[in-house]
Amino acid sequence: MQTTIIYITGVYDTLDLFTQELKNAFESMGYASFTYDARLEEVSKQALIECIGDGAKKDQRFFCVTFNNLGYNLSLPAGMTGTGMLLKQDIFQGTGGSKRAGSAEEEPNLWETYNIPYINILMDHPFHYEKPLQNAPATSIVLCTDRNHVRYIRRYFKNIRYTDFLPHAGVELGSKHKPLTERGIDVLYAGALPIYTVAKMIPDLSSIPEVDGEEMAQAVLSELVHHPDRTTEDVIEEYLKYKRNDISEERIHEIIVQMRFIDSYATSFFREQAVRILVENGIRVTAYGTGWDQCEWSDNPYLVYGGKVLAPEILPLMNDSKIVLNTMTWFKAGAHDRIFNGMLAGAAVVTDDSTYLRREFTDGKELVMFSRNEIRTLPDRVFDLFGHMQSTQKMADCGYQAAKEHHTWKSRAEWIREAWM
């Protein structure tokens, strides 16, 4: 039986890069592809409906594999009814065409109508996606890049029947890599400072009557800075329960969503600290992404600011970097694609740690890991890498092999196939 996987592109360049890697991987396994281009919405939707209709006649199977809820609300045109096609898979029998919130005239959800498993890979914390997750198709499978995010979904989104952990992955640009000593960039940081873009996420703090919103924001951020291995949602909940003992589970969830901007402030704080402490110790860092030119120390001669570039343009930069520096987007039990992209570029990767990374790698063998509580040691770790380039090259080579064998999008596609297809 032929299986066609549906992909959604044309919204974010980073997600398009990941999608193309998954598409290549699944096609190498023999799966057919259909790409829905969000920039050509009406044409894509009509072509998709025709593809599904033709496939139903041939008893084909369909899956949607997408990122960050893209296409979750795709609907059939008003007045059009589905074929009622049911996939021969136990996990979704009986979910096709289920009722969704709204009026009787609401357009039916495409994934539910055709009973197509909607495999949704979240690159960010679920609290950024409250509405789409609450209104997710009944056929949803949500895969999170941090184990704490899985726990969060299981607690607060009872409508989602299936969720699991899928680590981030990397993309390799070419298979020939220059030795570290021949590379032109000493340390590369590819990522924006969220503090300069987070303003639109900040709510009216007076709209939280249970507590003083300003005081809560300051207290939670202070706790995260001083205890950076804690999650934002846990600290917010702890604060609320300390102040009040009568706040319901549902209301705690609502306030966590309102206060999620604190997560970006904490991320930005440590991201800036990591780069700043290096340049102030005379280590040249080349930074890409918004915000690096707005810091009070941006005139430091050891900071080279390259502006904002698209995701595919970062890969050749990593291939010319001795060290790829990463700090997590407040993931405590996951990873970031910068880590695996850097490894697959043959660079020496330096990153803050997580429980996942500590289980997966050995500090100093495949990469360098540092604790956020010990960020002051970062310059010494980096100087040590530059001072012993032969052993640093060996570490980079080990990192490349580990990523090549276990942390590509092909390896993630193989896991998805075994688990859900």
The pTM for the full model equals 0.92
**What distance in Å separates the CA atoms of residue 303 and residue 287, rounded to the nearest whole number?**
7
Q: Which residues pair with 87 in a beta bridge?
A: none
Q: Which residues neighbour 288 within 8 Å (Cβ) at sequence distance 6 or greater? A: 188, 189, 190, 191, 305, 306, 307, 308, 309, 314, 317
**What distance in Å separates the CA atoms of residue 280 and residue 278, rounded to the nearest whole number?**
5
**DSSP 3-state of 190:** strand
DSSP string of 307-365?
----HHHHHHHHTTEEEEEE--SS-SSB--HHHHHHHHTTPEEEEE--HHHHHH--BTT
User: Greatest CA separation found in the chain?
Assistant: 69
Angle at 255 between CA 249 and CA 261, to 5 degrees: 140
- Residue 48 near residue 19 (C-beta atoms within 8 A): no
pLDDT by residue for the chain (421 residues), tens digit each?
799 999 999 999 999 999 999 999 999 999 999 999 999 999 999 999 999 999 988 889 999 999 999 999 999 876 555 444 433 343 443 333 444 444 445 789 999 999 999 999 999 999 999 999 999 999 999 999 999 999 999 999 999 999 999 999 999 998 789 999 999 999 999 999 999 888 888 999 988 999 999 999 999 999 999 999 999 999 999 999 999 989 999 999 999 999 999 999 999 999 999 999 999 999 999 999 999 999 999 999 999 999 999 989 999 999 999 999 999 999 999 999 999 999 999 999 999 999 999 999 999 999 999 999 999 999 999 999 999 999 999 999 999 999 999 999 999 999 999 999 9
**DSSP 3-state of 409:** helix
